[in-house]
Amino acid sequence: MATIGLIGSGTIGGTLARLAVDHGHRVVLSNSRGPGTLGDLVAELGPDARADTAEGAAAAGDVVVVTIPLGNYRQVPVEPLRGKVVVDTNNYYPQRDGRIAELDDGTTTSSELLQAHLPESRVVKAFNHIQAGHLADHGTPAGTPGRRALAVAGDDDEARAVVAALVEGFGFDVVDLGPLAEGWRVQPGTPGYGPELDAEGLRRAAAEAHRSRDTA
Ligand SMILES: NC(=O)c1ccc[n+]([C@@H]2O[C@H](COP(=O)([O-])OP(=O)(O)OC[C@H]3O[C@@H](n4cnc5c(N)ncnc54)[C@H](OP(=O)(O)O)[C@@H]3O)[C@@H](O)[C@H]2O)c1
């Protein structure tokens, strides 16, 4: 049993929290408004869930998921995440997040921005290219024909393996994209973003992706 900290407990964070509890983990939820606003979700998840501040969730988690509107990434607490595996589900939607020049000009990618903000954490991009509803419903046992696959990308091999084990445990094959800089291959606007693909299909989609201003 691990403790999963969540910075952001909305559509995707809440779904990941449910999956984590269903798979025997503890969760510590947080949001921007404070733990007092998360009572309903904590009650629904049961005794393995509690709410805290973002700093508290970051400190409590063995693995911490950052799942917030990307535009707020600079608000993610740095110090309590030092040395930790940080899962990044975030995507860049300029209409929601505001324009981010380094993403618009392709200088970097959204997960590398989070990694730069958390220089001593081990950021792994995961769960960004699947809708929350599908994440909740599409998991199947290993070996199921056509099993849906999800990508992971990150610079630290051990961290990528930790997150891959979570993805696998939640019912999905894993496609390892390698370093964080390759994460753009499953960003909005790429063929791997959204559709239900098995491992072979997702590998092909990632290989065929073209980088553009909208896929940073
Ligand atoms: N929805 C999906 O199906 C899906 C799938 C894959 C990836 N994503 C990506 O994952 C991220 C989260 O998406 P979502 O749909 O879950 O968003 P959402 O439903 O709007 O939830 C966002 C959560 O982040 C919290 N938050 C915002 N700023 C924060 C901060 N500074 N510190 C701590 N918590 C903060 C919000 O708390 P408050 O409510 O208190 O502000 C809320 O709990 C986005 O980048 C999105 O593009 C979404």
Confidence of residue 1 (pLDDT cuts 50, 70, 90): confident
Confidence of residue 107 (pLDDT cuts 50, 70, 90): very high
Confidence of residue 215 (pLDDT cuts 50, 70, 90): low
Query: Of how many residues is the chain composed?
Result: 216
Which domains, ranges and CATH numbers included, belong to the chain? 3-215 (3.40.50.720)
User: What's the 144 CA to ligand 1 centre distance in angstroms?
Assistant: 31
Ligand 1 mutation pick, 9, 15, 31, max ligand atoms within 8 A of CB: 31
Evaluate if residue 17 carries a pLDDT over 80: yes
Q: What digits encode the pLDDT tens for the residues 91-106?
A: 999 999 999 999 999 9
Q: Is 15 in the pocket of ligand 1 (CB under 6 A)?
A: no
User: Which residues are within 8 A (CB) of 213 and not within 5 positions of it... i.e. 6 or more apart?
Assistant: 104, 105, 106
User: What's the 205 CA to ligand 1 centre distance in angstroms?
Assistant: 26
Q: Is 215 in the pocket of ligand 1 (CB under 6 A)?
A: no
User: What's the 149 CA to ligand 1 centre distance in angstroms?
Assistant: 22
Q: What's the rounded Cα separation, in Å, for the pair 23 and 3?
A: 11
Q: Tell me how crowded residue 39 is: count the other CB atoms within 10 A of its CB.
A: 10
Q: Is 53 in the pocket of ligand 1 (CB under 6 A)?
A: no
Evaluate if residue 53 carries a pLDDT over 60: yes
Ligand 1 mutation pick, 6, 7, 9, 12, max ligand atoms within 8 A of CB: 12
Q: What's the rounded Cα separation, in Å, for the pair 20 and 11?
A: 14
Q: Indicate which residue's Cα is closest to atom 21 of ligand 1.
A: 10
Percentage of the chain lying above the pLDDT 90 cut: 96
Q: Is 56 in the pocket of ligand 1 (CB under 6 A)?
A: no
CA distance from start to end of the chain: 35
User: What's the 91 CA to ligand 1 centre distance in angstroms?
Assistant: 10
Q: What digits encode the pLDDT tens for the residues 128-167?
A: 999 999 999 999 999 999 999 999 999 999 999 999 999 9
Q: Which amino acid is at 84?
A: K
Ligand 1 mutation pick, 6, 11, 66, 138, max ligand atoms within 8 A of CB: 11
Q: What's the rounded Cα separation, in Å, for the pair 194 and 176?
A: 17
Evaluate if residue 127 carries a pLDDT over 70: yes
Q: Is 38 in the pocket of ligand 1 (CB under 6 A)?
A: no
